[in-house]
Structure formats: C-alpha cells, structure tokens
C-alpha cells in the first residue's frame, strides 16, 4: 500500500512538472513574433529537402500563384500547397502554440506565414517571415522591391 501511494505521488509530480513545462513553453512562444517562431520551429525540426524546395520556391518567386509555384518546383497538381501546408502542420506546436483541443488545419497554418493583405497577386510570404527564411539561408534571388510611383 505504501508503495502504491509513493508511486501515485511520483506520477503526480511528473504530471505537474510536464504541465509547468508546457505552460512555460506556451508563455515563451506567445511573446515571440511569427518570424521568431518560424526560426524556432526549424531549429527544432530542420527542413527536409522537399520542405527546403517549397520554401525557396516561394521566397524566390513572391506574388506567384500556387499552380505556378508547383511548376517552378518541378511538381504536379498543386503539390506546392500540399508540401508547404504539411511543413507548417508538422511545426504546429511552435507556429500555433495553443491548446491541443484547438488544432488548426494545414491550410490555416499555412496562412500564418502567407501575406493575405490582398496587396499582392498570387502568394507571398509575410515580410518578416520572408526575411527570417532568408536569414536562415533559404532563397537565392534578391528580394523584389515594390515599385514606387513618382509623383510630380
């Protein structure tokens, strides 16, 4: 009986520590920008070759449709969207540090990184996310700068 009681106390102590660690990690991630979470997620889960290709494809080709990104990547039938969203889903615990009871679809997670302001045609990464990917070594082309109209 004493052994069972000790086992219960040890088990409860382990559960308490796990809850405290999870809350501390949540608190840490909640204060980070999305770009910082992107970096953190790729430290925790380095990109596969396919993920690297999906990232480079959008970093080097902003404002491009998903179909065109698929072709540029050498894939078929909307594969770019599949690979990019699966990459985000794999890193959900860092990109979307919410409760496990509030999981996000891969497409919704992808939208955390994509600029949906409507200012760009096609798909582009949010500027801070693109900057972070570039700092991490993704992308070969220089960033395309927005055209500035001259006023007289």
Evaluate if pTM is beyond 0.85: no
Q: Using one digit for the tens of pLDDT, what is the confidence trace for 49-75?
A: 999 999 999 999 999 999 999 999 999
For residue 149, what pLDDT band results from cuts at 50, 70 and 90?
Answer: very low
How far are the Cα atoms of 8, 36, 37, 97 from residue 28, in angstroms, in the given order? 30, 11, 10, 10
Determine contact, residues 69/61, Cβ cutoff 8 Å: yes
Confidence of residue 152 (pLDDT cuts 50, 70, 90): very low
pLDDT band at 118 (very low <50, low <70, confident <90, very high): low
Distance of alpha carbon 85 from alpha carbon 152, whole angstroms? 45
Q: What proportion of the chain, given as a percentage, has pLDDT over 70? A: 82
pLDDT for residue 93 is more than 50: yes
């Amino acid at each position: 009986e004493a052994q069972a009681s000790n086992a219960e106390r040890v088990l409860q102590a382990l559960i308490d520590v796990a809850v405290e660690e999870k809350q501390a990690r949540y608190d840490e991630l909640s204060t980070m920008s999305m770009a910082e979470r992107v970096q953190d997620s790729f430290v925790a889960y380095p990109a596969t070759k396919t993920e690297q290709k999906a990232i480079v494809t959008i970093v080097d080709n902003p404002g491009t449709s998903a179909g065109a990104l698929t072709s540029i990547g050498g894939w078929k039938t909307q594969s770019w969207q599949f690979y990019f969203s699966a990459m985000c889903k794999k890193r959900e615990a860092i990109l979307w540090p919410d409760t496990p009871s509030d999981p996000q679809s891969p497409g919704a997670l992808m939208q955390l990184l994509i600029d949906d302001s409507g200012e760009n045609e096609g798909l582009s990464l949010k500027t801070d996310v693109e900057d972070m990917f570039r700092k991490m070594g993704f992308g070969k082309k220089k960033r395309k700068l927005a055209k500035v109209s001259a006023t007289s």
